[in-house]
Amino acid sequence: MSDLSVNVCGVNFKNPIIPASGVFGYGREYEELFPLSALGGIATKGTTITRRNGNPSPRIAETPSGMLNSVGLQNPGIDKFIDTELPNLLKKNTVILANIAGSTIDECVKIAEKLSSTDVHMIELNISCPNVKQGGAAFGTCPETAGEITRKVKNVLPDKPLVVKLSPNVTNITDIAKSVEAGGADAVSLINTVLGMRIDINTGRPILKNNVGGMSGPAVFPLAVRMVWQTANAVKIPVIGMGGVSSGKDAIEMMMAGASAIQVGAAIFTDPFAPIKIIQEMNDFLDTKKIKSISDIIGSVKPW
């Protein structure tokens, strides 16, 4: 039994595996299958200042080794989240990352303010949602804006670790990461989804009602590993890696690339037990290789 615990900007995770924002809701449904305390943490569904209905359906499409989604941040709004979901989650003996998004900087700041007085463990600021018209990805693709929003949000969160979630739909991920680091982020997480499109050739119409959507799943894994590696080498703050992780081996690979913890998204749709299996497989790998602590492999890749 190896030591799977990791520390990400001061927060202790019993293991590095965190269901990603948006696929896991607030955990209620998965509790039927396994105890949430088995997880390193949980990233909750992206929350906005007020309730959002999201985009019209269909909101999902299958792609080779992956999927597209265009949910568009459907959520009950921050007040309801804090009142009805968060208290329950905080009882689950796992790290809670509250994922938030806003269509203006002000909105993001307001949401963060509301969370600052709660007991939530970390805030994950999504500046990279490709599925909403305003804000979302727009924030995440310009280094200056990304830095500014980080600074203003961190301002109201002096005592809470702020993780900023980055978009892969950019020319230079390290520019954004550095700017966010300079803005005061305590960690970055990446990647959010890759903007994609599918067309139903029988109807001649896009499969998603939103026309385009965010690609995730194993297909994006090599892109995510590359971006995690580049980012981990560019900033000093920890990187939470995600994008296509579906096995313990994938998680190990992404941690070798520089991730301090791992989020798991689409893989949970394929197999709802994926996070649990990944934890087990990571443990097996470490045991076989006689590595005592998972922390030893973070960023351990030796480039040629």
Ligand X SMILES: Cc1cc2nc3c(=O)[nH]c(=O)nc-3n(C[C@H](O)[C@H](O)[C@H](O)COP(=O)(O)O)c2cc1C
- For residue 288, the minimal CB distance to ligand X (Å) is 25
Q: Nearer to other proteins by C-beta: 10 or 56?
A: 56
Binding mask 187-206 for a second copy (x = CB under 8 A): -------xxxxxx-x--xxx
Does position 295 interact with other proteins (CB under 8 A)? The reply is no
Selected binder of other proteins within 7, 12, 28, 83 (CB under 8 A): 28
CA distances from 117 to 26, 57, 73, 81, 114 (A): 20, 36, 23, 14, 6
Contacts with a second copy by CB under 8 A: the residue count is: 50
**Exactly one of 37, 57, 88, 300 binds other proteins (CB under 8 A); which one?**
57
Which of 266, 279, 294, 298 lies at the binding interface for ligand X (CB under 6 A)? Answer: 266
Q: Does residue 244 belong to the site contacting ligand X (CB under 6 A)?
A: yes
209 binds a second copy (CB under 8 A): yes
Identity of the residue, 5 or 247, whose beta carbon is nearer to other proteins in the bound complex: 247
Instruction: Tell me how far apart the alpha carbons of residues 167 and 136 are, in angstroms, rounded to a whole number.
Output: 9
**Per CB under 6 A, does 17 bind ligand X?**
no
**Which 151-190 positions form the footprint of a second copy (CB under 8 A)?**
169-172
Residue 221 makes contact with a second copy by CB under 8 A: yes
* Binding positions for ligand X, rule: CB under 6 A: 20-23, 45-46, 69, 71, 73, 99, 126, 129, 165, 192-193, 216-217, 220, 242-245, 264-267
Residues that bind other proteins (CB under 8 A): 22-25, 27-30, 32-33, 45, 53-54, 56-63, 65-67, 69, 71, 74-75, 217-218, 266, 268-273
